[in-house]
Amino acid sequence: MSKYLLNKFLYTIDRDPDLVERYRADPQGTVAWWEAEQANVILNCPTAERSTWLKFTDDERAALASHDYVRLFEMGAHNFLTLTLFIALFERDYGEPLGFQREYARRLSHWSVPYPDIST
């Protein structure tokens, strides 16, 4: 498992409104595309710089493809990265201010300190 790769996915998708919409509409396809085309691109380096070894585990791929932010949190994805991306994805589906944030808190309420390790 690579918490780095999970967090990199969350970070890069969240920073591009077109990718947010693509991930909302086709999560499985977006995860497959991102893993094949973007996972090994080194952040903040020229596009010619790539690694070759990074890939999601089946569990990570399934959690990302199903928008399962609870499972992602349990696997150690950074909670701020998860929250900001999923706000962008789902806040519009809630009719009240902070509606999604309340749902996020409710679904993660079974956790208490210490939280899963988010270090990479």
Range of the domain at 9: 3-107
pLDDT digits (tens, 9 = 90+) for 2-26: 788 999 999 999 999 999 999 999 9
58-65 helix and 27-37 helix, angle to the nearest 10 degrees: 130
Is the residue at 77 inside a domain?
yes
Q: What is the DSSP code (8-state) at residue 45?
A: S
What are the backbone dihedrals phi and psi of residue 43, each rounded to the nearest 5 degrees, phi first?
A: -60, 140
Nearest by Cα to 59 from 15, 117, 3, 119: 3
Is the residue at 74 inside a domain?
yes
pLDDT digits (tens, 9 = 90+) for 42-90: 655 555 555 556 789 999 999 999 999 999 988 989 889 999 999 999 9
Is-contact 9 64, C-beta < 8 A?
yes
Is the residue at 53 inside a domain?
yes
Is the residue at 31 inside a domain?
yes
Is the residue at 99 inside a domain?
yes
Is the residue at 100 inside a domain?
yes
Number of domains, the chain: 1
